[in-house]
Amino acid sequence: MGINADFDDQYSHHHYQRVEIPPPKPFLKTLKSNVKETLFPDDPFRKFKNQPLSKKISLGFQYFVPILDWAPRYTLQLFKADIIAGITIASLAVPQGISYAGLANLPPVIGLYSSFVPPLIYAMLGSSKHLAIGNVAVPSLLISAMLGKVVNPHENPKLYLQLVFTATFFAGVFQASLGFLRLGFIVDFLSHATILGFMGGAATVVCLQQLKGILGLVHFTHQTDIVSVMTSIFTQIHQWRWESGVLGCCFLFFLLLTRYFSKMKPKFFWISAMAPLTSVILGSVLVYFTHAEKNGVQVIGHLKKGINPPSYSELAFSSQYLAIAIKTGVVTSIISLAEGIAVGRSFAILENYDIDGNKEMIAFGLMNIVGSCTSCYLTTGPFSRTAVNYNAGCKTTVSNIVMSIAVMITLLLLTPLFHYTPLVVLSSIIISAMLGIIDYNAAIHLWKVDKYDFLVCISSYIGVVFGSVEVGLIVAVAMSLLRILLFVARPKTFVLGKIPNSMTYRNIEQYSAASSVPGVLIIHIDSPIYFANASYLRERISRWIDEEEEKQRTSTEIELQYVILDMSAVGNIDTSGISMLEEVKRNADRRCLKVLLANPGGEVMKKLDKSNFIDKIGKEWIYLTIGEAVNACNYILHNCKFQSKRIDSSVTPDDNV
């Protein structure tokens, strides 16, 4: 290595671009930039620049209340499309609202209330054109599972209802807070695999619990795990009602058949959309004329007429169960946010427009806060209703207003007609909807693409089905966080080789044509270097060097003299990472090896400069590209070899004596 040092100055005179250190920035300016990138990645203030105050105020109102932006451009043609879509989703909202309220152990009319007020709020504040608002199965199940543990909804229905409204209020506060504080990225910690497994498990649990309605059972377990549910079913075989079972299977077959037909013939989507309401009407007529309610077929019974009464006085802020209400609100708000935003984005992509995740959180939050004060429970944007809204030709959120008006008319005039609606029909509607959520094809796709994602998905599913909804959620989140930690703590490193006839360097395991450079080891580090992975990277780099030296002992290649660390993927580095590089350098010096850095980023260069690491390693050993670093090594190796030959040729036989 002493000879190499003699040629450092020679090579430094060759023309190549040095890696520059970015100019220093004031701390406050850097902090402001980092906060802006974290909380405002969409740059919402861009359109406010260089605008007069009046225009800024107008744009501000339009930003927070999107209806003010598009309403002036609304046309009669758009309204024709929206009114058809609104009436179509109203036909789905009424039976679903009643069904999901039963799933949450709430009076059926609460489900109808929840399809009246919240859609009006979202129509004004939401940024998705196609999202149809309503209550959904999984949050309904969560509410029942979590609150039902502390208060029996049948023994103390008033307190249970108060806790549901309170949980809905805190769910809205949490959602709106995430939006106002620009913390929407928190929801992204629920990965696609996590949600897929959780939703599939919850859908399975919901289907199993609906066997109570299908079989006409009066007493049923409050537990949600499959063992408790199946035990409850098979220990009551003598109480099964064949009338209810036959009726339920017939309607379930009808619903699944219409869904299959609409899937095969997308133009006839309305058949599947109208099927739930048709089932309710047919079931009610059948029960009315056959008096089936006297033969074991349970019916809804009396539904209170009138629109939502205020419920702000029912919020149980002073209740001893306030903590569980807050916990329920936070958990259900996260699940409903994840579903609503995911559904909204999916349909926005189909129509090539953007939705603002933070605006959506504010809209969801405010509609649930208002809903909790108007006898509604948690609502979001369910996939089934949104898909029907989209297929019906919806153009704007006016379809939600039309649906809301249709539900209002139902509440004012038509609720007596639901008196004879059999509960078994509602169970069939729920099972039919839930079977569409269990996406086994997506799970198979995860298995093919990413085994760990599949493990996260199936762990979440098993946790929900064999444990509880809460256990499944905890397992899913824990598995996702574990994966994040593994990515951070165990980043990928690999050896690069040169692609023939090019200046390109690629992973030698991925590219069979890539060949290693004699005397040079090129190691790519594929992540930022932090305290969590610094020790691992030090050990892994040392192991790469050991393996390379062992390989060269059994070959005739030039012995290893240079180690190039490709820093192109290292976006940042902390003090632990810098200490790691210093240890790598000291270890290399002991082995008589020289360490070079290739393509370190601006943030990395600033920290290396401030820590004086650049002086320790030498500016001449930091290169803009791997190619330049390899050329430098080859230049020195070639000149060393050439000088060594000259020295050998100048030695006479007498000198050797």
Q: What's residue 593's pLDDT?
A: 92
User: Can you list the positions of beta strands (E) in 504-557?
Assistant: 505-507, 520-525
Averages of pLDDT over each 10 residues, the chain, 657 residues:
47 62 79 74 74 83 86 90 87 84 90 93 92 88 88 91 96 93 72 80 82 80 79 84 84 88 80 83 86 76 85 90 94 87 80 84 95 94 81 88 93 86 83 80 90 87 83 79 83 92 90 89 92 92 91 78 93 92 93 92 90 90 91 80 47 41
Show the DSSP H helices in 50-116 as ranges. 53-64, 67-70, 76-103, 108-113
Q: What's residue 657's pLDDT?
A: 32
Contact 190, 477 (CB under 8 A): yes
pTM score of the predicted model: 0.74
Positive or negative, the Cα torsion across 34, 484, 203, 174?
negative
Q: How far apart are CA 134 and CA 114, in angstroms?
A: 6
AA letter at 218: V
Q: What's residue 534's pLDDT?
A: 92
Q: What's residue 393's pLDDT?
A: 81
CB burial of residue 385 (10 Å; 0-12, 13-18, 19+): buried
The 3-state secondary structure of 562-627, one letter per residue = EEEEECCCCCCECHHHHHHHHHHHHHHHHCCCEEEEECCCHHHHHHHHHCCHHHHHCHHHEECCHH
Q: Tell me 151's DSSP state.
A: S
Q: Tell the CATH topology of 490-642.
A: Transcription Regulator spoIIAA (3.30.750)
CB burial of residue 451 (10 Å; 0-12, 13-18, 19+): exposed
Q: How far apart are CA 4 and CA 638, in angstroms?
A: 10
Q: Which residue has the tokens 């632990």?
A: 576
What are the extents of the domains in the chain?
76-264+282-288+320-483, 490-642
Contact 216, 241 (CB under 8 A): yes
CA nearest neighbour of 426 among 161, 142, 141, 94: 94
CA 553-555-559 angle, 5° bins: 60
Q: What's residue 656's pLDDT?
A: 38
Helix (H, G, I), strand (E, B) or coil at 495: strand
Phi-psi region of 62 (alpha: psi -120 to 50; beta: other; left: phi over 0): alpha
Within a 13 Å sphere around the CA of 490, how many CA atoms are in the beta-carbon half? 5
Q: Which residue has the tokens 């501000």?
A: 60
Q: What's residue 222's pLDDT?
A: 67
H or E stretch including 496?
strand 493-498
H or E stretch including 485?
helix 469-489
Q: How far apart are CA 452 and CA 340, in angstroms?
A: 25
Token pair belonging to 4: 């190499």
Q: How far apart are CA 45 and CA 60, in angstroms?
A: 10
Q: What's residue 187's pLDDT?
A: 67
